[in-house]
Amino acid sequence: MKGKLRYLSFIILALLVCTACLNDDLDENDFNIELAPAISTNLPDTLVFGKSFNIEVEYQPKTTCHMFAGFNYYDGNQQQQLAVITSYSSNEQDCQTEDLKIATFEFTPRRTDFYNFEIYSGESEEGKALFLEKKVFVKLE
């Protein structure tokens, strides 16, 4: 778990460094990024080796001003980590509570045994990263 938290902390730090390099003179383009917690996923119990599968991740954007910006993806052989990234402008004034959204990540199994998927689902009260976890087996067609 320490490795997961360390990796997630590194990603957040890297994202903060990237946004710190933006030109502050362009207030209308003052974009920020943050991770959105996953609520559920459609990961099956089994995938087929070499066949792509669209992983759907239902996530909760913080507000209507938070837009999907992509996935943070870590491929650690059997360990696969995903996190939904959203972006928003700190200049937005009329942000409302947002409904759940779905984002899709295409994954192709390249192993013939199994994967341990971990999808970022928020933080505990102690500030530790939480994950939706699922072991998915791979079969030959």
Give the CATH number for residue 66: 2.60.40
Report pLDDT digits (tens) over 111-134. 999 999 999 999 999 999 999 999
Beta-carbon contacts of residue 9 (< 8 Å; ≥ 6 apart):
none
- Give me the DSSP letters along 36-65: E-EEEE---SEEETT--EEEEEEE--SSTT
Q: What is the count of structural domains for the chain? A: 1
Residues 83, 118: Cα–Cα separation, whole Å: 9
Tokens of 63: 């507000």
Predicted TM-score of the model (pTM) = 0.76
What is the domain extent for residue 79? Answer: 2-139
Structural contact between residues 115 and 90, judged by C-beta atoms closer than 8 angstroms = no
Find the radius of gyration of the CA atoms of the chain: 17
Report pLDDT digits (tens) over 38-95. 999 999 999 999 999 999 999 999 888 899 999 999 999 899 999 999 998 888 788 8
